[in-house]
Structure 1
């Protein structure tokens, strides 16, 4: 995985059931905006509020729309290891890779315990790469990833890398350059993307790449053209977007609602995330317009509902 990978939402009808018919247009939307892949059934995708059967149906729908060159990663982590292994096995033939975050209620207390969990899932889908999903702010499993990585490459044959959704620059850099960069280490903190560039990051997974891929590609280009001031300014605009929506009831649900501005009605978010009204969305648009943000949403964006 390289460049921008969107952590995708789970489209739903107004009654809260899955709206799988929207996944085709959603996939086309991401490809038009040069997003190189989709990370499905993750935190952005309300996975903790979905049943195992719903998660299977989502990956099947994405698989049916997949085209060459678009990388599909299915998150299969679960508090129940048996369910995680079932989701992993089902992913073979549907996704290009699987990824798993650790149990978050009864947490693994040692790196060895985490390796066992990951190994059991990975061997349930031996024909596709396995990634570990590191997001300690939500899971509470906070180990040094370089220690985990050194052990994982020796014990998990199809281990491929880490979705690193934490800001620990030293540990991230060590993972990125481990064994001459042999592992695929994806940076997963959208609001700090600019800080990952001096470390050598080349791949990013995040929810705001659904909305702001044109801005982020300009940010990356500005950095590599030594226009650090412009890169930092663009990062501040991305932070403003997150903060603006977060104040309307939390970013997860608000970000999903904001997709209506691109002609993709993702429907409601499941509890405890909120779903924005049209009035709330218009309030957000007005604030973003005041800060010169609207041009960064791309051609598919409409400032009115």
Structure 2
């Protein structure tokens, strides 16, 4: 897997129930914007606020809607390892791969316990590639990923790599160097996308690849052509997008609501995230227009509700 993988939202009806009918259009939207994969049931997708059955329903909807050219990684991590294993088994024949973050309430106190957790989940779906989801800012679990790789490669037969969501380019670069193409290391901090290219990143998973795919492709093109200053300048627009939504009312609720401008009504966010009002969304849109960010937004669907410019 290379290129952009979008961390997907859990679409909901106004009453808070899942809106599975929109998944097919969602997948087509990602493909039309040259996004090569979907990371389902992750942090962006409100997984901690979904029931196991809801997570399975989303997996089935993505499976029904996906095409051969959209790679589906289903996050199955859970504080209850039995639930995680059930989600892994359910992913067989539906997802292309599975991922799991560490338990985040009672946390593993050593890397060996984390490996035990990953081994048990991965073994429930031995024919699916398994990725460890490293996100210490939310899980509270932060072990050295080079050491983890070394042990996981020898102890987990279907271990395929790491989703490295930590603002730690030195650690990411070390993990990337150690992997030596034996496994894949996806970078997961959108605001440091351009910097990650400089240390060798070739695959990324993030929420803003939903909204700004053309921007990130442009950053890549500029970097590949040696136009590093241009790439760094474009990166600032991605940071502006994140910071603007965060300042208006919170990034998660804002970024989910912003999808309506592409014709995808994602509905409300699950508690404790705050759902944006139309006034807040239009305020964000106007600010991005002033910052000349609109040219880098993802191509909308035919149902787009982008305001008149």
TMscore range, shorter length: over 0.9
Q: Partner residue of 1:98?
A: 98
Counterpart of 1:224 in structure 2 is 224
* In structure 2, C-alpha distance between the alignment counterparts of 1:179 and 1:192, rounded to whole Å: 20
Partner of 2:26: 26
Q: How does 1:258-277 map to 2 (within 5 A)?
A: 258-277=258-277
Contact 1:10 1:18 in 2 (8 A): yes
Query: For residue 212 of structure 1, what is the aligned residue in structure 2?
Result: 212
C-alpha distance after superposition, 1:84-128 (max 9, x if no partner):
011001100110000000110111110000000000000000011
Q: Write the distance in 2 (CA, Å) between the matches of 1:166 and 1:302.
A: 34
Spell out, residue by residue over 1:194-253, the C-alpha distance to the aligned partner (whole angstroms, 9 max, x if none): 111111110000000000000000001101111111101110000000000011221111
Counterpart CA distance in 2 for 1:170 and 1:191 is 16
How does 1:75-114 map onto structure 2 within 5 Å? 75-114=75-114
Matched residues, number: 305
Residue of 279, 293, 307 corresponding to 1:304: 307
Within a 5 Å distance, the mapping from 1:180-191 to structure 2 comes to 180-191=180-191
1:238-290 CA distance string (max 9 Å, x none): 00000000112211111100000101000000101111111111111111111
Q: Alpha-carbon deviation of 1:168? A: 1.8
Distance in 2 separating the partners of 1:291 and 1:146: 40
2:291 alignment partner in structure 1: 291
Equivalent positions of 1:14-53 (< 5 A) are 14-53=14-53
Mapped pair 1:60 → 2:60: yes
Q: Is this contact kept in 2: 1:5–1:203, CA < 8 A? A: yes
Q: TM-score, normalised by structure 1?
A: 0.98
Q: Is the 8 A contact 2:244 2:284 kept in 1?
A: yes
Q: Aligned partners of 1:238 and 1:102: how far apart in 2?
A: 28
**Which ranges of structure 1 fall in alignment gaps of 5 or more residues?**
none
Runs of 4+ in 1 over 6 A off after TM superposition: none
Paired with 1:180 and 1:268, the residues of 2 have a C-alpha distance of 42
TM-score, L = length of structure 2: 0.97
